[in-house]
Amino acid sequence: MNTILGGIHQDKILIVDDEPEILIALTDLLDDEFVIIQASCAQEALSLLGNHPDISVIISDQRMRDMTGDVFLTEARKISDAGTILLTGYADLDTVVSALNRGAISFYAAKPWEAGSLLAMVREAAAGYRTRCELNTERALLRSLFDNLPLGLAITDTAGVSRG
């Protein structure tokens, strides 16, 4: 799924921001606990997502030159099940609410961020990603089992009545 370093699982985090200082600051905050991949624009990040399907969390700035963060995260959602965090220094509440309602983002953080709070969001988003991966694996296993049963499957309720 993701990198194992010294026996410890490390989730991959994609940070997308066109300001190099922000990329450095976020990397410094997160690189002790996570594997960091950086992109300086949305198009580069979409390409990286295609090459790294095991990215657990995407952190994106809202205001970038080539694409807004909410639009980028909507596109990213089409190719990745990663947790998403929208980061912005601007109080564009309508955009944030719209992105949350569309399911494009999992969390929102304002610039300047509070380190402990942002780290907690990243951990929560990564845990959600791992849970979704586990559920998808279990669903695939169950589907395979049901599809390969030699005989039909009968399910009964607690009264012994057949339901299938």
Q: How far is CA 48 from CA 16, 90, 138, 155, 156, in A?
A: 11, 26, 27, 45, 48
- Distance, in Å, from the CA atom of 15 to the CA atom of 55, rounded to the nearest integer, reads 10
- Distance, in Å, from the CA atom of 57 to the CA atom of 129, rounded to the nearest integer, reads 8
pLDDT of residue 143: 84
- Distance, in Å, from the CA atom of 162 to the CA atom of 164, rounded to the nearest integer, reads 6
pLDDT of residue 162: 65
pLDDT at 129 over 70: yes
Domains in the chain (CATH in brackets) are: 3-147 (3.40.50.2300)
Q: Is pTM beyond 0.95 here? A: no
In tens, the pLDDT along 84-120 reads 999 987 766 777 777 776 766 888 898 899 999 999 9
- Distance, in Å, from the CA atom of 123 to the CA atom of 13, rounded to the nearest integer, reads 10
Q: Which residue has the higher pLDDT, 161 or 21?
A: 21
pLDDT of residue 78: 93
Q: Which residue has the higher pLDDT, 132 or 90?
A: 132
- Distance, in Å, from the CA atom of 67 to the CA atom of 42, rounded to the nearest integer, reads 6
